[in-house]
């Protein structure tokens, strides 16, 4: 059974700082890995999707990497802004798993002025 | 991108009543819809997988008679929480899988249920 863990659970940084969020998964037979953002009381916003054959994806100030062999993915946020404050979730889709996503525990990010 | 709409966004009900939540794919046909539940400060937990025209597949520990799922069309799935109790209070989110699957799932905005 796939298990997804995110470290740290919470993170507070000053504005402008670069930061890395970590995601680890136990089953390396993944179809893809996705990163989402969730604002309080809201649904999910898809940030980046990395296919199993890819090593990284970039969108603006966000860069996500994937290392299947080690069961890890990272989300790099450059020049953080207060508007980046949210909970970030990673989710792994297992090959042959019926397209189900297994979500990580989330990292609650606060970017302070 | 594809749009998935959930209704209602929030609902408050008395204990013992039933509540229906709708999940609609607005601009694509969803062959599969996943229903998730999220308790405060926790991650999303998959409740069930719903394929159009078939019975839903429930995850271990989820009562199928309590959480009724209907997926009668390619654009609509409903989740009915029957005889709701305070412990069912949660954030319910659906996710739709397009017929032409590209690897990306599309999520609804979520429905917050509060049972008094």
- Is A99 in Cβ contact with B109 (below 8 Å)? no
Closest A-chain CA to B106: A46
DSSP 8-class letter at A79: S
Of B44, B97, B107, the CB nearest to A99: B97
Judge contact between B3 and B27, C-beta under 8 A.
yes
Contact residues on chain B for A99, CB-CB shorter than 8 A: 32, 97, 101, 105
pLDDT category, B98, cuts 50, 70, 90? Answer: confident
User: Cα–Cα–Cα angle for A46, A65, B42, nearest 5°?
Assistant: 50
- Is B109 in Cβ contact with A42 (below 8 Å)? yes
Give A71-84 pLDDT, tens digit per residue. Answer: 999 999 999 999 99
Give B42-94 pLDDT, tens digit per residue. Answer: 889 999 999 888 889 999 999 999 999 998 888 999 999 999 999 999 999 99
Please state, in angstroms and rounded to a whole number, the distance separating the CA atoms of residues A86 and B87. Answer: 26
Contact residues on chain B for A44, CB-CB shorter than 8 A: 44, 93, 107
Please state, in angstroms and rounded to a whole number, the distance separating the CA atoms of residues A14 and B54. Answer: 50
User: Which residues are within 8 A (CB) of A74 and not within 5 positions of it... i.e. 6 or more apart?
Assistant: A20, A21, A22, A23, A64, A65
Cα distances from A24 to residues A32, A61, B45, B89, B114, in angstroms, run 13, 22, 17, 29, 33
Judge contact between B107 and B6, C-beta under 8 A.
no
Q: Which of B43, B93, B106, B114 to mutate to test the interface with A (most CBs of A within 10 A)?
A: B43
- Could you give the maximum distance between any two Cα atoms of chain B, in Å? 41
């Amino acid at each position: 059974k796939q298990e997804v863990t995110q470290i740290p659970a919470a993170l507070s940084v000053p504005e402008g700082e670069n930061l890395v969020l970590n995601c680890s998964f136990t089953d390396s037979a993944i179809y893809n890995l996705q990163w989402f953002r969730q604002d309080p009381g809201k649904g999910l916003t898809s940030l980046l999707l990395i296919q199993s054959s890819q090593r990284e994806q970039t969108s603006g100030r966000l860069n996500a990497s994937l290392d299947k062999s080690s069961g890890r993915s990272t989300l790099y946020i450059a020049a953080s802004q207060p508007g980046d404050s949210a909970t970030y979730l990673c989710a792994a889709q297992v090959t042959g798993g019926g397209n189900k996503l297994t979500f990580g525990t989330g990292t609650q990010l606060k970017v302070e002025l | 991108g594809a749009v998935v709409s959930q209704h209602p966004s929030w609902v408050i009900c008395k204990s013992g009543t039933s509540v229906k939540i709708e999940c609609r794919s607005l601009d694509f046909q969803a062959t599969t819809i996943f229903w998730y539940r999220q308790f405060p400060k926790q991650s999303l937990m998959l409740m069930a997988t719903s394929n159009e025209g078939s019975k839903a597949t429930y995850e271990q520990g989820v009562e199928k008679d309590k959480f009724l799922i209907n997926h009668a069309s390619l654009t609509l799935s409903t989740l009915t929480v029957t005889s709701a109790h305070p412990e069912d209070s949660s954030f319910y989110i659906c996710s739709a899988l397009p017929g032409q699957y590209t690897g990306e799932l599309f999520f609804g905005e979520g429905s917050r249920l509060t049972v008094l």
